[in-house]
Amino acid sequence: MPNSSSQQQDTHNALLETINSSLQDDHFEIIVELLSEMHPAEIAHLLESLPGNQREQVWSYVPDDMDGEILLHLNDEARAALINKMETVDLVAATETLDTDDLADILPEMPQDVIQEVLLSLETQERDRLKSVLSYDEDSAGGLMDLDTIIIRADISLDVVLRFLRRKGELPKGTDSLFVVDRENHYLGLLPLSLILTSDPQVLVGELMSTNIEGILADKHAREVANLFEHRDLITAPVVDEENHLLGRITIDDVVDVIRDVGDHSLMSMAGLNEEEDMFAPVFSSTRRRSIWLGVNLLTAFMASWVIGLFGATIEKMVALAILMPIVASMGGIAGSQTLTLVIRGMALGQVGKSNSRRLLLKEMWIGVWNGLIWAIVIAGVAGLWFQNILLGFVIAAAIIINLVVAAISGATIPLLLKRLGADPALSGSVVLTTVTDIVGFLAFLGLATIYLL
């Protein structure tokens, strides 16, 4: 039985085929009908799956009142491409449907004249709220937070709270709890809506509120916020400043976006790409970005080739060395990548730091030793029988052990060193690791061969 993910993919593919055929046959009424039944996030996903010319055609049939939400869900490059094609009046209109926190995410990417018009169109209070969100980094709790929250005092009864909510009429999207503050707006605790509905109306808020959910500092990194939500099973959390003043809230839907972005970043960075890269970006811009990392890889490949070149005479005398060389480098590369991936994941989850990095290094080193011994015996036996040379088997066995140990040590230390230097381990770690394992593998194998076989 197909799983839900497979079904969703099949539905999306069928939708793409329908859109393509409708564009080719000029059946635009079909496109209009399809778009009117879709969620903004689904339309954004559809637009990202279309080449540039088709994307612009479909965008022209998107309902005007959905423009802002759709732009918000698009990746950075696709959004920028559409913004550049839109008129100022349309961009201003698109922002009118957005909440303050969503507006803060998209506004910096707008042209300057649009930003000015949007700010002028806001009331003073809304403008101040927007500026407060924009003052925080987009990858921080302050950048994620929603300012649209309901606050209450601890010294009022649930009956007063219920009457207040009825007068308000509509709750902010995603509200499951109310925030309790004192007269100076210091955060005190949370009051779940479920308790308001099921408890005695005469009970005071202070008697029922939950105080075990601490406020998240506004400058805390988004990844740390996601970890808090995961470990504490949070649905809503307050955002506070250094003096514990309530600033806003973060909800689970914001955290889901962070988790997805972190996953995309880790996956794409391994290939030297940006998670926000448009799949159908212009050929020249995509070529330019990828050429940078191809150039870096070329330099590291030349370094490995230079090491091989030092032993050219050795290889000429024994062709078996050229045949077996890739095995040593490949085994080291795979072993190192396993450790590298594990450490980068641990760093992202906050599980690896100064306090335990030495023990992790020791553990990975011993894994390298034992794996090296196990596979050295296997490879030595195969190589010895293949080329009828027992000494050659011992040489490649020693090289395998050396390279796997070095690969384990490198995989554990490279991410930590890169982070200390301010570089992104996910983006450049694999390039550095491959260089190390290739050079050490070739140097160990060919060096030992030169000493013991010739």
pLDDT in tens, 253-293: 888 877 777 666 655 555 555 555 666 666 676 677 667 76
Residue 2 has pLDDT above 60, yes or no: no
**% pLDDT > 90, the chain:** 28
- Say if 3 falls within a structural domain: no
**Same domain membership, residue 238 and residue 327:** no
Asked whether residue 321 falls in the same domain as residue 432, the answer is: yes
Helix and strand element counts for the chain (H, E): 22, 6
Least-confidence region, from 15-24, 204-213, 359-368: 15-24
Paired sense of beta strands 216-217 and 236-240, if any: parallel
pLDDT: is 82 or 127 the higher one?
A: 82
Q: How confident is the model at residue 453 (pLDDT cuts 50, 70, 90)?
A: confident
Residue at 409 is within a domain: yes
- Give the residue from 139, 174, 194 where a domain finishes: 139
Residues 308 and 437 in one domain: yes
Same domain? For 327 and 448 the reply is: yes
What contacts 382, CB < 8 A, 6 or more positions away?
393
Which whole-number Å values give the CA distances from 21 to 7, 28, 174, 288, in the listed order?
A: 21, 10, 38, 33
User: Per the domain annotation, does 4 fall within a domain?
Assistant: no
Q: Classify residue 302: in a domain, yes or no.
A: yes
Are 125 and 162 contained in the same domain? no
Assigned domain for 276 exists: no
CATH of the domain at 26: 1.25.60.10
At 1 the pLDDT is: 44
Query: Contact 429/416 with Cβ under 8 angstroms?
Result: no
Q: Are residues 59 and 180 in the same domain?
A: no
- For residue 201, pLDDT over 60 is answered with yes
For residue 146, is it within any domain?
no
Q: Which domain holds residue 69?
A: 10-139
The CATH number covering residue 159 comes to: 3.10.580.10
Task: Show which of 93, 118, 139 is a domain's final residue.
Answer: 139
Asked, for residue 1, whether it belongs to a domain, the answer is no
Which pLDDT score is estimated for 209? 92
Span 14-40, pLDDT tens digits? 888 888 888 888 888 888 888 888 898
87 & 193 share domain: no
How far, in Å, are 176, 178, 314, 324, 369 from residue 203 at the CA level?
Answer: 19, 16, 88, 78, 65
Q: Map residue 362 onto helix, strand or coil.
A: helix
* Residue range 191-200: mean pLDDT, rounded: 90
| CATH code assigned at 316 | 1.10.357.20
Residue 436 domain flag: yes
- Same structural domain, 127 and 241: no
| Shared domain check, 325 and 264 | no
Shared domain for 307 and 442, answered yes or no, is yes
Q: Which of 110, 139, 168 is the last residue of a domain?
A: 139
Query: Tens of pLDDT along 50-88?
Result: 887 888 888 888 888 888 888 888 888 888 888 888 888
Per-residue pLDDT tens over the stretch 370-410: 999 999 999 999 999 999 999 999 999 999 999 999 999 99
Other C-beta atoms lying within 10 Å of the C-beta of residue 29: 10
* 300-347: pLDDT as tens digits: 888 888 988 888 888 888 889 989 999 999 999 899 988 988 888 787
* Count of structural domains within the chain: 3
The residues, any chain, with a CB within 8 Å of residue 423's CB and separated by 6 or more, are none
Q: Check whether residue 349 and residue 390 sit in a common domain.
A: yes
> Do residue 131 and residue 23 come from a single domain?
yes
